Structure formats: C-alpha cells, structure tokens
Homo-oligomer: A and B are copies of this chain.
C-alpha cells in the first residue's frame, strides 16, 4: 500500500480532544488506502516545562541529560495517539526514536539524522498495522543515548521518514492553512499558493516565513519529498494547503511567487576600511566567532586604498557585533575610521523561480519602491531572489506595493 507521512505539531495535539480530532484526519487517509506514519510533537507547553526544569536544575546542563528529559513529551503524545486510533478501530502502535531506531550523530540537542532502518515498521505494516505513530524530534546516538534534533526537529523527522519510506507525500499539519504570497497580516490581498517549488520555499523560510523550518525544506528538496503544508484546525480536502514540490510538478512557474519580509534587521557600516587582500576575512571571521548571523554584505568601490564595508545582522546582535569589531581593531587585525549602526531597517524580498528566465524583475522592484518614495539602503540578489534593506517604517508599504505590482493576488 502507498505510504503517507503526516506530522502534527504541539498545538495540534495540545489536548486529548485535539488528538482525537487529528486522529480522525489520520483515519480518513487510512480509509483511502494509505499506510500512514504519523509524527507527533509534545503536547504544547510540555517541552517548555521540561526545558524549564533542566535550566533551573543546571544552567550549563549536560546535553545528554537534557535530551533524555525533554524527549519524554513526544513519547506521551505518541502513546496517546496510538490509543486514540485503536479506539477508532484503526490498527496502530507507537514507536519511540530508539525503537525504530532513528539513528543520529552524537551532537546532543542538535543531532543530525544518519539512518532510518525501515524493516521494523514495514514488517508491522505487512502484518496489518495501518498506522505507525512515531515520537518526533528524537533519536539514538551511536553510544545508545537519547538525542534530540533541535529546532524544527519534528518537521525534519517527518521529512526523513518520508524519504526513508519513499512516501507518496509528507503532510505537515500546522496552525496556518498553507503558504501565502506574503504575510496576510500585512497585506490583505495575500493569496494562498496551491504549489510552490522547493527552492522558493527555502528562500521564503530563510527570509522569515515561519511555516516550515529551513532544515526540513532542505531535506525534502534533497530527497524530492513532496511536502504539503495544511491546517489541522479545518476540515481538509485532497487539494487543501500548499504543496511544496519539485519545480517540474508546477505547470506554470510564477515569475514572482511571494514577497517576504524580516522586521528585526540592523545595518552596520565600517567607514574607511583599509582595503587590502584578506580584509573581508579579517572583518567577518571575528563576527562569525562571536556567533553573529551576518546576512547581506556589500563592499563599496575602493578609493585611495580605503573602502566602506556594509553588512546586515539581527538587531539584537548589534552590541555583540560592535564589541567583536572594536576588539579586532584594538588587536590591529583591522583598521577603520568609524562604525555606524542603523537599527531601524527591515528587509523585503521578492522570490520566484521564474526570475531565472525573466528579466526585469529587479527593475520593476526598484521602480515600485522609488514611486513610493522608499530609499533602498542595500541590495542583494540570488538566482531566484532580490532582497533590499529599507527604513523599517516603510516595510508594510513596500510589501503591499510589491504584491500589487507583481499581481500576486491573481493565480498564475
């Protein structure tokens, strides 16, 4: 029988009633003829409670014990989901990570999946079991200790199972009903996309769209796992939500698929840096060591052997970035006249696979912003994305104007 992977996050399994509701959804897929692998998170609030216990007990905790403690929430949900399905006469059982076994590296609290053997669960399907409920977010290290996968771990578990079992699709149930052309809270014309390509989703995820973790999209793209994002709080048809898939599955590619934004950006400029080979490394190595997430980087044309270097980073990392750069200046590894931080900026990006074959997207974007009187401070581009930094107060205006200009309210 074809296999379907369904993943339910913490809010979707927050109470016994909600578990019953999503179990019905699983029952619908079983009735269609699928063998289903369900990946569950902890009931919402549970993991935070356990993390709180650990942090209060031991501020610099042993990550192996952290993992042993915080993984227990998923085990509870997995057992309860299996029991709920059994009550509905759907043959089901639960698996904890070590029982599969979902093998990972030993990087506790941020482990990476190395292997998911399929024989154990496949045999149970052959014996008539219809649903394998698997505790998400957890695995087992080569040393036999429990590991957790870190942020977005349950989404990643789901995609990895879909890849290992060659599932027809991996449905990620969440609290939104799909991927939108832009944030509906900012632009009321935002339209839900029926399909979006992996590459576009990846850009949107990394640009701040909170629907899917970047890591799970990367994994899905690598193994060509068809991902569907849909709401666990609405009645669903086969066509609900947004399918994240290979671009070959999308008939008519959009030139622009979406407009993303990120509010909490800062722009930092090193004024009059001595320009010499290796200067970029000398600036960005200490920032990397200090854990600063540098995003955009722009270097001015050099004049008289000196240049300006501009970069962006999250606004809450500005103080740390300043500290790291001043320290590098004191040590003599870099030399600059001044360091200027602008903490009132936002990033707005347009993303679309069709850009590869269509010219003029950048020109249109710049014209739209100019017409609205919005000054562009920094520009970066990739094959399928153009991002600009602008004053934060213009962010909503820019998103709305770009959404209109590229006619994103209309289906392709």
- Chain A contact residues, CB within 8 Å of chain B: 16, 19, 50, 53-54, 56-58, 61-62, 64-66, 68-69, 72-73, 75-76, 78-80, 82-84, 86-87, 93-94, 96, 98-99, 144-146
Interface contacts beyond A54-B79, A65-B93, A98-B98: sample of 19 additional A-B pairs, CB < 8 Å, sorted by A: A16-B53, A19-B57, A53-B76, A54-B80, A54-B83, A57-B84, A58-B84, A58-B87, A62-B83, A62-B86, A62-B93, A64-B93, A65-B79, A68-B78, A68-B82, A68-B96, A69-B79, A69-B83, A75-B75
Copies in the assembly, this chain: 2
Contact flag A75-B68 (CB < 8 Å), given A57-B19, A98-B98, A144-B99: yes
Q: Do A83 and B65 touch (CB < 8 A)?
A: yes
Given the complex, which residues of B lie within 8 Å of A65, measured CB to CB? 79-80, 82-83, 86, 93-94
Q: Do A80 and B64 touch (CB < 8 A)?
A: no
State A245–B73 Cα separation when bound (angstroms): 40
State A218–B16 Cα separation when bound (angstroms): 40
Q: How far is the CB of A236 from chain B (nearest CB, A)?
A: 23
Q: Do A79 and B66 touch (CB < 8 A)?
A: yes
State A35–B315 Cα separation when bound (angstroms): 50
Given the complex, which residues of B lie within 8 Å of A78, measured CB to CB? 68
Closest to A64 in B: B93
Offer 27 A-B interface pairs, CB within 8 angstroms, sorted by A: A16-B53, A53-B76, A53-B80, A54-B79, A54-B80, A54-B83, A57-B84, A57-B87, A58-B83, A58-B84, A58-B87, A61-B83, A62-B83, A62-B86, A64-B93, A65-B79, A65-B83, A68-B78, A68-B79, A68-B82, A69-B76, A69-B80, A72-B76, A75-B75, A96-B146, A98-B98, A99-B145
Q: Do B83 and A57 touch (CB < 8 A)?
A: yes
Q: Do A57 and B69 touch (CB < 8 A)?
A: no
Closest to A101 in B: B144
Given the complex, which residues of B lie within 8 Å of A145, measured CB to CB? 99
Given the complex, which residues of B lie within 8 Å of A53, measured CB to CB? 16, 76, 80
State A69–B96 Cα separation when bound (angstroms): 10
Query: Contact partner of A16 among B57, B62, B80, B87, CB < 8 A?
Result: B57
Closest to A135 in B: B68
Given the complex, which residues of B lie within 8 Å of A56, measured CB to CB? 16
The 5 A-B residue pairs whose C-beta atoms are closest, nearest first, are A69-B79, A58-B83, A72-B72, A68-B79, A65-B79
State A80–B82 Cα separation when bound (angstroms): 28
State A82–B68 Cα separation when bound (angstroms): 10
Q: How far is the CB of A132 from chain B (nearest CB, A)?
A: 13
State A84–B84 Cα separation when bound (angstroms): 36
Q: How far is the CB of A61 from chain B (nearest CB, A)?
A: 6
State A146–B78 Cα separation when bound (angstroms): 13
Q: How far is the CB of A178 from chain B (nearest CB, A)?
A: 30
Given the complex, which residues of B lie within 8 Å of A62, measured CB to CB? 82-83, 86, 93
State A9–B72 Cα separation when bound (angstroms): 19
Closest to A73 in B: B72
Given the complex, which residues of B lie within 8 Å of A58, measured CB to CB? 83-84, 86-87
State A16–B58 Cα separation when bound (angstroms): 11
